């Protein structure tokens, strides 16, 4: 079965636009293949405005989201593999959805650079934590 992430991203974008909101997409820049302007990366993430008025040549398929946009007046082609999409939400009030691992996510071939000798987990670190993305 194909993963649901591409369908959910498109549906969230349309839903936000239908409600006169500005859709934003949070991206994990550590995922292999992400092409975004590095000067706007913060804490390993970048937030991109995916409103039709801010982008051109928007393509969303099973593999990635790609489009052209201007950053500081400079045109740039953006490429975000599906595995790198962390969330789609409204700039105005944060309504939207975050993405975690889903059944079939291996379809995306998530390729983070993993350390060869990862540190063992610290006691009490098995608890999940949430972070507000704005």
Report d(CA 7, CA 88) in Å as an integer: 12
Q: Is the pLDDT of residue 117 over 70?
A: no
Share of the chain above pLDDT 90, in %: 70
Centre a 10 Å sphere on the Cβ of residue 125 and count the other Cβ atoms it contains: 9
Q: 21 or 114: which carries more pLDDT confidence?
A: 21
String of b and e for 67-105 (b: at least 16 CB within 10 Å)? bebeeeeeeeebebbbbbbbbbbbeeeeebeebeeeeeb
Render pLDDT for 27-45 as a digit per residue (tens, 0 to 9): 999 999 999 999 999 999 9
- CA 1 – CA 15 distance, rounded (Å): 24
What pLDDT sits at residue 97?
96
Q: Which two tokens stand for residue 101?
A: 């691992």
Burial class (CB in 10 A: 0-12, 13-18, 19+), 39: exposed
Whose CA is closest to 15, among 91, 90, 100?
Answer: 90
Q: What pLDDT, on the 0 to 100 scale, is given for residue 118? A: 47
């Amino acid at each position: 079965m194909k993963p649901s992430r591409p369908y959910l991203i498109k549906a969230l974008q349309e839903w936000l636009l239908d409600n006169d909101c500005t859709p934003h997409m949070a991206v994990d820049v550590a995922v292999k293949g992400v092409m975004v302007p590095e000067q706007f990366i913060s804490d390993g993430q970048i937030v991109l405005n995916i409103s039709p008025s801010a982008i051109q040549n928007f393509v969303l398929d099973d593999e990635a989201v790609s489009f052209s946009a201007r950053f500081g007046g400079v045109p740039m082609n953006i490429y975000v593999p599906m595995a790198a999409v962390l969330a789609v939400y409204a700039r105005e009030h944060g309504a939207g959805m975050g993405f975690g691992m889903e059944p079939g996510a291996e379809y995306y071939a998530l390729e983070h650079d993993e350390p060869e000798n990862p540190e063992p987990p610290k006691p009490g670190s098995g608890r999940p934590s949430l972070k507000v993305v704005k």
